Chains A and B, each alone.
Chain A
Amino acid sequence: MAEIAIDKVDALKTADLHDLCDAADDAIRAGGGFGWVEPPPRDVMERFWKGVLVVPERVLFVARLDGVVAGSAQLVKPPRNNEAQAHAAQLTTSFVAPWARGHGLARRLTMAVMDEACSAGFRVLNLDVRVTQEAAIALYESLGFRRWGTHPFYALVQGKPLAGHFYCKDLQPAPQPPAQ
């Protein structure tokens, strides 16, 4: 039985950083999205993850399968000058390496980000996803995310435009009135 863990991290040991880069490379090659179409050079990828750790508005989660980092997701808080949208955070950069799929890591990562957003007092969690990410779409909808729109030119992959769906989730839904 595979051992699964989700960690909120504020520092990455060298070995974990390498595993995270490997997992991201595999996810990108498999069409997993999150910005890159092809994996960048390893030094660029390493700087990206190191950069995530120093941005105060970003909270990084990693998923481990048998102790090895195999996926990741981030909670992005709004900038402090955005008072009107201070209630809304973003779930972004979510992926699981293809070799680690089928163990529920993506669900556990998403729930960890939702819990973190709730704990931090956010009312709404937003996310967007390529229309080709069918498994991710099914996951988000099963967790109560509501699709509110589709952008027809969301991404450009190998010269072709690709649509993307936009979702939101109310983290503190108003209590329903008791049935009469």
Chain B
Amino acid sequence: METVALIDYGSGNLRSAAKAIERAAGEAEASYTVLVTSDADAVRRADRVVLPGVGAFADCKRGLSEVPGMLEALEEVVHRRGRPFLGICVGMQLMAERGREYGVTEGLGWIRGEVVKLEPADPALKIPHMGWNELNIRHPHPVLAGLPEGAHAYFVHSYQFKLADPATLIASADYGGPFAAVVGRDNLVGTQFHPEKSQATGLALIANFLRWKV
């Protein structure tokens, strides 16, 4: 039985994400133990890693840094062992080189680019961007397998990941201009939207992530 580590570093409630992974595991017809953990060693041992994130980039980075050994464990499991990694919302943004929310904060630097304020061309569009939006698939990816062009996903965010390398853009969405909705390279993938709140689209994406052979 494989283990999915859902990293608990004080960034909000993880229950809906844990339940969504458990439910998606059922749909993927695979046996997984979902471990909500702040234990770096448990993350090291995990077969797959999910990093959620709610709130500000700087707060999340600080929270992650304050968990003893977690940054080192992530580097090991993600880089040296190449285990599948899914970042959700700010958890996805943390893969950037830096974030520009409340000053400049260094990110994990796994995907080139930076996190900047969402500035829709239409000033009538409210920030945060909150609600359902269509995904425009830019590059086929195993985690999007079976999802139709225009599948709807649920977003809550005020900042976006500006990618330096267009090859790392897997899907975009539009809110007064295009922004990165799914990013990834190698064994890394991240969603700006909340798959755990995106109903069928989210469950399909998580099930695909659980099946993903890197």
Residues of the B chain whose Cβ atoms lie less than 8 Å from the Cβ of A21 = 13
- Bound together, the chains give a CA A15 to CA B16 distance in angstroms of 9
Shortest beta-carbon distance from B76 to chain A in Å: 30
Task: Give bound CA distance, A2 to B20, whole Å.
Answer: 12
Count chain B residues whose beta carbon lies closer than 8 angstroms to a beta carbon of A: 17
Listed by A's residue number, 22 A-B pairs whose Cβ atoms lie within 8 Å are A2-B199, A15-B15, A18-B13, A18-B15, A19-B15, A19-B16, A21-B13, A22-B16, A26-B130, A26-B156, A29-B128, A29-B130, A29-B156, A30-B131, A66-B19, A66-B20, A68-B15, A68-B19, A98-B130, A98-B131, A98-B132, A99-B154
B19 touches A99 (CB 8 A): no
Size of interface on A: residues with Cβ below 8 Å to B: 16
Cβ-closest chain B residue relative to A2: B199
Q: Is the CB of B13 within 8 A of A22?
A: yes
Q: Cα distance A19–B130 when bound, in Å?
A: 18
The answer to the question of A67 belonging to the interface, with a C-beta cut-off of 8 Å to chain B, is yes
> Mask for A5-45, Cβ within 8 A of B = 1, else 0?
00000000001001101100010011000000000000000
Residue of B nearest to A29 (CB): B130
Give the A-B contact count at a CB cut-off of 8 A. 38
Contacts of A30 in B (CB 8 A): 130-131
Give A100-113 as 1s and 0s: 1 = Cβ < 8 Å from B's Cβ atoms: 10000000000000
**Which residues on B sit within 8 Å (CB–CB) of A97?**
197
Asked if B177 is at the interface (CB within 8 A of a chain A CB), the reply is: no
Q: Can you list the 9 inter-chain pairs with the closest CB atoms, starting with the nearest?
A: A99-B197, A18-B13, A99-B154, A15-B15, A68-B16, A22-B13, A30-B130, A68-B19, A98-B131
Mask of B22-35 contacts with A, CB within 8 angstroms, 1/0: 01000000000000
Q: Nearest chain-A residue to B202 (Cβ)? A: A99
A2 CA to B198 CA in the complex, in Å? Answer: 11
Residues of A within 8 A of B48 (CB): none
